[in-house]
């Protein structure tokens, strides 16, 4: 997984490029620029998702570790409950 700084740098460049395209599209219709702007919007959504995942992993650890902790907590809760007679 990339670092949050790498992701943010790409995100900033992508947002900048999309802004330039929107500015150009404001001057007139261009199918190629419109398609590129749409693909950049999709890429921006992907980058935000990747950034959120990187932040979660940095804060809480890899997904496997989080899942293992959750399973352990569930097991301990089950064991702590009184057994039905």
Full domain range(s) for residue 59: 4-80
**Mean pLDDT calculated for residue range 9-20:** 98
Residue with tokens 């804060």: 59
Tokens encoding 23: 């500015």
pLDDT digits (tens, 9 = 90+) for 33-56: 999 999 999 999 999 999 999 999
Identify whether 65 is part of a domain: yes
Q: Is residue 22 part of a domain?
A: yes
Which value, to the nearest 10 degrees, does the dihedral of the CA atoms of residues 11, 20, 38, 9 take? -10
In the predicted model, is pLDDT for residue 85 greater than 80? no
Q: Which two tokens stand for residue 69?
A: 């902790």
* CA dihedral sign of residues 67, 71, 74, 80: negative
CA distance 9 to 27: 28
Q: Please state the pTM of the whole predicted model.
A: 0.75
The verdict on residue 74 lying in a domain is yes
Domain-embedded: residue 85: no
């Amino acid at each position: 997984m990339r670092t949050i700084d790498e992701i943010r740098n790409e995100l900033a460049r992508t947002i900048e490029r999309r802004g330039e395209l929107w500015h150009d599209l404001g001057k007139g219709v261009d199918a190629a620029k419109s398609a590129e702007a749409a693909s950049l919007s999709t890429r921006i959504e992907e980058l935000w998702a990747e950034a959120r995942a990187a932040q979660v992993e940095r804060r809480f650890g890899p997904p496997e570790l989080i899942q293992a902790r959750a399973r352990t907590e569930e097991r301990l809760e089950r064991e702590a409950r009184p057994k039905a007679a």
